[in-house]
């Protein structure tokens, strides 16, 4: 039995509830299909909790709808699903994690090492421009991988010709050093310099001394951000910084350091994620999935990454997840397109609003970037 359309709030909004039915897809009248296609500017189909024989269909400007599988098949057959792909393709994308460097410079580079046959070559704006064009990337935030202080300015100068695409730089300055404040204040005169990344850990367990806390507080006071690479730091460290400096915006890199193996996640890692995510100033970057799989080529099946992404999404929510690739390191695992597809395919069932936040809106908010301009 099928219920009639029921107005909700205004004439343009409806809730459709189709009860279980044995009707075939062909039995639905054309006006029903046409009406749904017109109202669902974006169609995202996923299982419904209401009944095993129904699916939930969500539209960007409509109420959620429950329909029987047979009608969903009819919608798919009529081409409604193509509008979902079209809408996703229209979403701007800010890749918040790429690296640029020039191995041909006379002084060389501290990273990557010459022994790295995949990455040791010049990686310059023209290279990323091609990747961006091929994969629908609107803008990017560069993450500096060199510990040489002059390289912060070198990268800013390198991309000065295209500030609309190269919107920000997460720099490399060592906290706890005598000249940290001087360098931060000078580099921050350029609004594209949005923060630094915590990467090296001199002194090991004695790292967090008074000088480090002084510089982290300065970062917070200047409304600069802190990316954290997890190789030398723990989720407990992140939680400690977030608690002590609640106004400091912190972005954990590379899916919070998860060891992605397609199996249920490590319970201790999950507890650490929960502890860090409890602080509203902590965000997580959905980046480095291929890297964290420790496989080459990396799997492209979304199910392989699902246990990790489920935990991060449940704990941080859609408002504190930020898209990044880790290009060109992604090349060790596969193509840029493969990486992006894995991320989008996982989040697609959560709707267009979630994808918009993940792919660009949360990046604008976290890094304080200028709005995207066509």
- pLDDT tens digits along 204-242: 889 999 999 999 999 999 999 999 999 999 999 999 999
Q: How far is CA 357 from the centre of its chain?
A: 9
Q: What is the CATH number of domain 91-367?
A: 3.20.20.140
Sheet of 94-98, strand order? 94-98, 139-143, 166-171, 193-198, 225-228, 250-252, 282-286, 321-323
219: tokens are 């970062």
Indicate the length of the chain as a whole number: 374
**What count of other Cβ atoms lies within 10 Å of the Cβ of residue 296?**
12
Q: 109-125 burial by CB neighbour count: b if 16+ within 10 A, else e? A: beebeeeeeebeeebeb
Closest CA to 364 of 136, 229, 194, 247: 194
| pLDDT value, residue 204 | 83
**pLDDT tens digits for the chain (374 residues)?**
333 333 333 333 323 333 333 344 445 555 555 555 444 444 444 444 555 444 454 444 444 455 555 555 555 555 545 556 678 999 999 999 999 999 999 999 999 999 999 999 999 999 999 999 999 999 999 999 999 999 999 999 999 999 999 999 999 999 999 999 999 999 999 999 999 999 989 888 899 999 999 999 999 999 999 999 999 999 999 999 999 999 999 999 999 999 999 999 999 999 999 999 999 999 999 999 999 999 999 999 999 999 999 999 999 999 999 999 999 999 999 999 999 999 999 999 999 999 999 999 999 999 999 998 65
Instruction: Report domain extents, the chain.
Output: 6-87, 91-367
- Give yes or no for a contact between 238 and 228, defined as CB atoms under 8 angstroms apart: yes
Q: What is the SS3 assignment for 193? A: strand
DSSP structure string for 99-137: --B-TTSTT--SSS-TT-TTT-S-B-HHHHHHHHHHHT-
How many degrees, rounded to 5, is the angle at CA 308 between CA 302 and CA 311? 120
DSSP structure string for 4-27: PPEEESEEEEEE-BBPP----GGG
Rounded distance, CA 309 to CA 374, Å? 31
Q: How far apart, in Å, are the Cα atoms of 268 and each of 85, 234, 274, 294, 351?
A: 37, 11, 10, 20, 30
How many degrees, rounded to 5, is the angle at CA 202 between CA 200 and CA 208? 95
């Amino acid at each position: 039995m099928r219920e009639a359309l029921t107005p909700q709030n205004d004439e343009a909004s409806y809730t459709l509830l189709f009860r279980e039915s044995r009707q075939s897809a062909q039995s639905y009248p054309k006006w029903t299909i046409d009406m749904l296609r017109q109202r669902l500017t974006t169609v995202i189909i996923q299982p419904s909790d209401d009944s095993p024989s129904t699916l939930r269909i969500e539209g960007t400007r409509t109420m959620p709808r429950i329909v029987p599988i047979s009608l969903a098949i009819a919608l798919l057959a009529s081409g409604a699903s193509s509008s979902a792909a079209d809408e996703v393709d229209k979403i701007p994308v800010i890749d918040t994690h790429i690296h640029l460097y020039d191995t041909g410079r006379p002084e060389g580079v501290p990273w990557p090492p010459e022994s790295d046959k995949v990455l040791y070559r010049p990686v310059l704006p023209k290279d990323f421009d091609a990747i961006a064009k091929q994969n629908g990337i609107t803008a990017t935030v560069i993450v500096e991988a060199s510990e040489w202080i002059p390289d912060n300015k070198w990268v800013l100068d390198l991309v000065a010709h295209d500030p609309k695409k190269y919107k920000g730089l997460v720099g490399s300055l060592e906290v706890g050093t005598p000249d940290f404040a001087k360098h931060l204040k000078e580099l921050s005169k350029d609004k594209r310099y949005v923060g630094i990344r915590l990467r090296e850990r001199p002194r090991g367990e004695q790292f967090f001394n008074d000088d480090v806390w002084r510089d982290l507080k300065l970062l917070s006071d200047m409304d600069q951000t802190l990316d954290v690479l997890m190789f030398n730091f723990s989720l407990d460290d992140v939680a400690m910084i977030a608690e002590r400096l609640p106004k400091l915006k912190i972005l954990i890199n590379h899916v919070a350091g998860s060891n992605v193996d397609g199996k249920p996640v490590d319970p201790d890692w999950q507890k650490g994620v929960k502890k860090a995510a409890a602080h509203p100033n902590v965000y997580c970057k959905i980046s480095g999935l291929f890297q964290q799989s420790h496989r080459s080529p990396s799997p492209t099946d979304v199910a392989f990454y699902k246990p990790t992404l489920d935990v991060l999404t449940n704990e941080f929510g859609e408002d504190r997840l930020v898209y990044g690739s880790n290009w060109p390191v992604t090349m060790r695992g596969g193509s840029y397109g493969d990486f992006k597809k894995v991320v989008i395919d996982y989040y697609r069932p959560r709707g267009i609003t979630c994808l918009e936040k993940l792919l660009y809106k949360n990046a604008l908010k976290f890094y304080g970037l200028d709005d995207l301009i066509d």
